[in-house]
Chains A and B, each alone.
Chain A
């Protein structure tokens, strides 16, 4: 596999904040990435930097081996769908779908029509009059049907109902299987997409704190539940990621356990359970679970 995106010591400073702080990572070809983090962690800024919309303060960005800034050859292979996209005045969805193929060489009109039917987007209504969910649908359709080798989705489904979100996940996976490409998806709904993601990048306060294969990450922690004394003695000397007590019971999250340790825990009468991606990231970014469920 080859790297589609290479980022080295990338920083973006605004007058009062550092949105991206000396970040380095690579993105491999034909993989679905999750870019996760709290509101204001720097997800959108990072994606704007990778698509040449924002300008780096320092560091280096290579997309398809070149700087993306004002680089038509790179950008035409890139699609960046954001929740807050602006549309020209008086535009109707049909204008968006009519003009998209002029910009995306891989655009599939048939696929777009299928998606328009799936999401029930009204083609001849002014975009200003559409609901939040319908607006998101337009972005999702453009992002999928453009089939750009590098596709960014920044919070693509604000206002979409559960059915529409499921359609998005299904269509993304189906189309990805037939037309492999690199997808970078930023979202708050971590558990919903966790089966979709192959690699996870977690950004917190402008820094990448997790850069790991999703499979590896999912097995990287275990929650141990049992009597307080039993759990405490088992985890003594281990790095504890998270700890909860209810009465005489304890629930403690630790790192990876090998089979021998699992057996030992079972013999002590402790219960082991996997930690969901969302819980893990919540613990790593050290915030109450609620924060992630609040939609921005």
Chain B
């Protein structure tokens, strides 16, 4: 039974206590779900898009129309799925892996540190993959069909250095991971009531902000800010809520009893 054989080097030294790295390994032990499946699904979405681009490009005739289609494809949302997938992983890390890790006698602190480290590692990994795909997409002028999936407009379009692309993807993945984890932590601690209050408060805050902007007639200013800040700038700002979610998530989970039912 090779599946359960464990190298002695993997053992934690007795007495050291810290389980941060074991928690990271625990998150990644099911390699297929964490590292393979998302790419398979993304690959499938990509193939479907490729087929659509091909069909559309074959259907439109003159060059003017082609340019028009390419303009439209700038707004592709085809790769959004992978960010949502990462949010789901963030939710599951708390909803399922948290009770499991505590069942393996990890402390909440080590769990949170290990989980955060896992999020950073996965974000870097997926951001690197997305960056490579975006570079290929730009170089081949949209996979020779003028398609756009990894270098869509909100990912900075086609004129952006690779490191800016990487940072953009990296920070966006982090945001989705930690926001998912925060929502799941609230649920773990306060169940349905926590969810109701959380989403209630979020709705009130968003509507309030919209009202404030509307009544002060500052929508143009908001628009200008987004344009001026640009995609990398907006994403850089997202690090603030991300860090806040990471911090608040830990504070909440530190006093949480894992729910097993």
Taken together as a complex, chains A and B put the C-alpha atoms of A22 and B5 apart, in Å, by 45
Taken together as a complex, chains A and B put the C-alpha atoms of A86 and B255 apart, in Å, by 19
> Given contacts A48-B257, A95-B30, A105-B14, is CB(A70)–CB(B108) below 8 Å?
yes
Contact B104 A103 (CB under 8 A): yes
Interface size class of A (residues with CB under 8 A): 35 or more
Taken together as a complex, chains A and B put the C-alpha atoms of A87 and B30 apart, in Å, by 12
* B102 CB to nearest A CB, Å: 6
Q: For the complex, is A112 an interface residue (Cβ under 8 Å from B)?
A: yes
Taken together as a complex, chains A and B put the C-alpha atoms of A89 and B102 apart, in Å, by 16
Taken together as a complex, chains A and B put the C-alpha atoms of A267 and B106 apart, in Å, by 62
Q: Which residues of B contact A78 (CB under 8 A)?
A: 105
Q: For the complex, is A55 an interface residue (Cβ under 8 Å from B)?
A: yes
Taken together as a complex, chains A and B put the C-alpha atoms of A54 and B261 apart, in Å, by 15
Cβ 8 A contact of A99, one of B1, B29, B254 = B29
Taken together as a complex, chains A and B put the C-alpha atoms of A100 and B103 apart, in Å, by 10
Q: Which residues of B contact A48 (CB under 8 A)?
A: 257
Q: Which residues of A contact B5 (CB under 8 A)?
A: 109
Q: How many residues of B contact A (CB 8 A)?
A: 42
Taken together as a complex, chains A and B put the C-alpha atoms of A92 and B166 apart, in Å, by 34
Q: For the complex, is A278 an interface residue (Cβ under 8 Å from B)?
A: no
Q: Which residues of B contact A104 (CB under 8 A)?
A: 104-105
Chain A residues 71 to 90 lying within 8 A of chain B, measured CB to CB, are: 71-73, 75-76, 78-82, 84-90
Q: For the complex, is A124 an interface residue (Cβ under 8 Å from B)?
A: yes
Taken together as a complex, chains A and B put the C-alpha atoms of A48 and B30 apart, in Å, by 28
Nearest A residue (CB) for B260: A84
> Given contacts A55-B257, A113-B1, is CB(A75)–CB(B106) below 8 Å?
yes
**1/0 per position for A105-145, CB-CB distance to B under 8 A?**
11101001100100000011000000000000000000000
**1/0 per position for B22-63, CB-CB distance to A under 8 A?**
100110011011000000000000000000000000000000
Nearest A residue (CB) for B7: A101
Contact A124 B104 (CB under 8 A): no
* A283 CB to nearest B CB, Å: 31
Chain B residues near A (Cβ < 8 Å): 1, 3-6, 10-15, 17-19, 21-22, 25-26, 29-30, 32-33, 92, 96-97, 99-100, 102-110, 254-255, 257-258, 260-261
